Amino acid sequence: MINVDDEKNLKQCFNDLINIVRTTAGQIKSLKVSEGDTPLNAPVANTPADTNIYSFTLDHSEEDLMIDFKSQIEHVIEKYLPRSVPLCEIYILEFLNEFHYDANKKEFNEQFNVGMLDSFTRELQCRLIAIDAYQAAFNGNKDEVNNFLNEYPTFKDKSGLWGTTLIYSAARNDHLELLKDLVETHGCSVNAQNRQHLIRALSSAGHSTDYFDDNSRAGSTALHAACFNKHFRIVKYLIEHDADYYIRNHSGETALEHANLSKDNAGYFRQLLVFGYSEIRTKFPEEPIDEDAILKIVDCVWEYKPFADNQWFKFSEWESSKLQDSLIIEPNKDFQREIHLQTAKGIYGVLLMKFLRSGKKLNYGDRLAWIRCRGSSFLNFNCYPLWQILFTTHPETSAESTLDMIKIPVSYDSKFQIRLNTWYFCNAQTSEQIDKAMKYRRKFSNIMVPLIHGEPLEFDLENFSFTDREKKINGFLRWIPKMVSNNSRNEDKIIDVDEYATLTNIEPIPLTVSRLKHVSELTNLVSTEEEEELAAHLDDEDFSNEDTDDSAEKVNISE
């Protein structure tokens, strides 16, 4: 904890340092004036090159002043640091670390130069004023915080004396107006974390972790504070501005774990998140869906929709199991483009590359049906998805439906037509936003779909549907597996199947996270081996100056 005397001691330390800088700056200006180099009211440093704090000045008089300046600064630090409580010591060392201060040796590792005095003074003043500004954020004093950030905008996401950010303090004490100002006016990150354990200023100086703040406040975000203190309106605002509820503080806690402390917050998150598809859970999820995670659970719902219907029907448990197994590709296992579902009503075929089901008796000319899997492709199949949308209603429909799957143009195309009951591939930006919402298990997400509607569409990622605000545009969402070539020539490459007009000799297979990782590692390995081979080749060459032409001939990098 910090009492009044601790704070007074800290402020005096910074004031003493500022006075030393100002005195030295004045001496240097007087020296320059006496030499006729600069007017008395000019800044000490006025060129960008002067800001290199490790350069030595060529003027011996200035150099002597800077050596004395360094000595005085080190003396003040040695005076105040031992009498400072841990939080104040951390605050001082965080600043000094920027100038390579060695706390063990009690000295700076490098000499100062004249060019850094102005910036050094500004940083000292910022640290001094921040002591009161961060208290103002805690108290909800918007004007004082505004004045501070207008003068020192780089401090917007940094932690202050108490190890907390400005936005954390505003959220902790339910100062909504201040919070809005910090986010919308000053651009503070809603996910800025409080001071971490591994503070560079201390770790680089060899201090033990006894100095680190090891309580749950360390590493916490504004959302941690709002959830823990049951401030529902703050929680709602932060979530609406993309706060991450999976960030863990240094006690390993997420903001979601604190949500249950408040009935309003718990209810809000239960409306916000998808708790499962085939297995509905009551416990809040502990982490986002990790693309790199090994396949853990089966949590999805397989459905089909006949062309003539706008309703999806669930497959039987046996049929779902068959479909599920078809997309889990074990090593050295071939991918079946079509599987057969034998039911009491007959045999149906399913084209897995198009997620299309035939009619009875494998009849692809009658009673066709689209299929989909509601759930995460990463969690269930470790594969990358291609997201598609299908319109059931749209005010600008101008063409008949088709079995072809169509790409939405990236820019205006006069030939582009909107068809009902036709699957459209989402562009990369839209797909990325859907992927992110799925990763964070969001139930709803407002996403722009260019050339479809001028405003964001609301996607229901639990039921895989979407609509606009006026309910004039409605439709369904699904993903199909992204396919790549798996023939013998392309086993160690990523060759998009979409690039081919025919699938002859392509041997398509779903692109899995593990395959992409393998190819990436292989590519990096080959690149490293090529670099090492080239380096060895160059090392073995004779670079003597006896015959310039022969040397140039030997070192032929293009070979």
**What residue segments make up the domains of the chain, in order of their start?**
4-139, 154-272, 301-374, 385-481, 515-559
For residues 281 and 289, give the distance between their C-alpha atoms in angstroms, rounded to a whole number.
15
| Structure letter (DSSP) for residue 279 | S
From the number of C-beta atoms within 10 Å of its C-beta (0-12, 13-18, 19+), residue 345 rates as exposed
Tell me the CA distances in angstroms from 172 to 226, 238, 419, one per residue in order.
6, 12, 50
CA dist 540 → 44, 531, 533, 548, 556 (Å): 54, 14, 11, 16, 13
Nearest to 168 by CA among 129, 216, 202: 216
Q: What is the reported pLDDT for 528?
A: 54
CATH code for the structural domain at 385-481: 3.30.720.50
Same fold, 301-374 and 385-481: yes
CATH 3.40.720 fits 301-374, yes or no: no
Handedness of CA 227, 233, 236, 238 (dihedral sign): negative
User: How would you write the pLDDT of the chain (559 residues) with one tens digit per residue?
Assistant: 789 999 999 999 999 999 999 999 888 888 766 665 555 455 544 433 343 443 444 467 888 888 999 999 999 999 999 999 999 999 999 899 888 899 899 999 988 888 888 888 999 999 999 999 999 999 999 999 999 999 999 999 999 999 999 999 999 999 999 999 999 999 999 999 999 865 433 444 444 444 444 577 899 999 999 999 999 999 999 999 999 999 999 888 999 999 999 999 999 999 999 999 998 888 999 899 987 766 667 899 999 999 989 999 999 999 999 999 999 887 777 888 999 998 888 899 999 999 999 998 888 888 899 999 999 999 999 999 999 999 999 998 878 888 899 998 888 888 888 999 999 999 999 999 999 999 999 999 999 998 888 899 999 999 999 999 999 999 999 999 998 888 777 777 777 776 555 666 778 889 988 888 878 877 776 555 555 555 555 455 443 443 434 333 332 322 2
| pLDDT score of 555 | 29
pTM over 0.95: no
pLDDT value of position 41:
52
The C-alpha atoms of residue 105 and residue 235 are separated, in whole angstroms, by: 46
Which top CATH class is 154-272? mainly alpha
Q: Does residue 114 contact residue 50 with C-beta atoms inside 8 Å?
A: yes
Give the list of residues 6+ apart from residue 325 with CB closer than 8 angstroms, or none.
none
Q: How many CB atoms lie within 10 A of CB 388?
A: 23
Cα radius of gyration rounded to whole Å, the chain: 32
Cα 471 to Cα 484: distance, rounded to the nearest angstrom: 37
In order of 261, 297, 339, 427, the CA distances from 384 in angstroms are: 37, 17, 21, 15
Q: What is the pLDDT of residue 366?
A: 86
If DSSP states are collapsed to H, E and C, what string results for 361-372?
HHCCCCCCEEEE
At residue 493, the pLDDT reads 72
Question: How far is 347 from 309, CA to CA, in rounded Å?
Answer: 21
Distance CA 549, CA 187 (A): 61
